[in-house]
Amino acid sequence: MQTFIRAVEYRVPSADRTTLAHGGGWYGAAPAFGALSAKRCFGPGEGLPGRAWRHGHPILLRQFEGPYFKRAEAAQAAGLACAIAVPLLAGDCLMAVVVMMFCGDDAAHASAIELWRNDPSLSPDMTLADACYGTTAEAFEYIARHVGFRRGTGQPASPPPVTTPATSPASWASRRRRPA
C-alpha cells in the first residue's frame, strides 16, 4: 500500500538549546534517507526544521530545492517531494519539531496539504495560510482559497463532538428493547 506520508521524523533541542538533533523517525521505504537524517542537526532558521523553530509556526515546503531543505538530493532520490515542519511548543518553549515528508505529485498520488490559521486582527474567520495542491486538485484548491470558517463551523474549526446524556453510550444500553 502506498501512503501519502512517506517519512516522519522529530527533532529535539540539544541540551544547550542551540541546535535541533534527530530524536527519531520512520522512513518507510527510504532507509538511506533516514540514515542521513539521523546524522544531521539544525540551528535556528537552518533548513526546514530550523525555520519552524525560529518562526514558531508550521512551515510548508512545496518542493525540495534551495537552501531550505538541506537533504534535498537524498529526499528526491527516495521519492519524497514536499514536507511540512510543525513546532511543538509548551508556551514559548520548543519541545520538538515534527517533520512529515510526502510523496510526489502524479495521477497515482492525488493530494493536498493545507495550513489554516486565524489572525483576529484581520478577520474572525479561520483562513488558508499556505497550501500545496497536486496537479489533480485544481477545483479543490480554488474552493479552499476562497472560503473562510467562523469559529465552530467547518472541518478546520469544528470543535470535538459533545456527548450529552441522551447520546452517551450509557443511555444506549437503557434504550435497548427487552424481550417480552
Residuewise pLDDT in 10s, the chain (180 residues): 466 788 999 999 999 999 999 999 999 888 999 999 999 999 999 999 999 999 999 999 888 776 767 788 888 888 888 889 999 999 989 999 999 988 765 556 666 788 888 888 888 888 888 887 766 667 777 888 778 877 777 665 555 555 444 444 444 444 444 444
The CATH topology of domain 1-104 is Beta-Lactamase (3.30.450)
pTM of the predicted protein model: 0.75
* From-to residues of CATH 3.30.450.40 in the chain: 1-104
For residue 136, give the C-alpha cell: 489533480
Q: What is the CA radius of gyration of the chain?
A: 21
Instruction: Catalogue the E-assigned strands of 36-79.
Output: 59-61
Stated as kind and residue range, the H or E segment containing 112 is strand 112-118
d(CA 76, CA 61) in angstroms, rounded, equals 13
CA 90: distance to chain centroid? 18
Cross-strand partners of 99: 9, 85
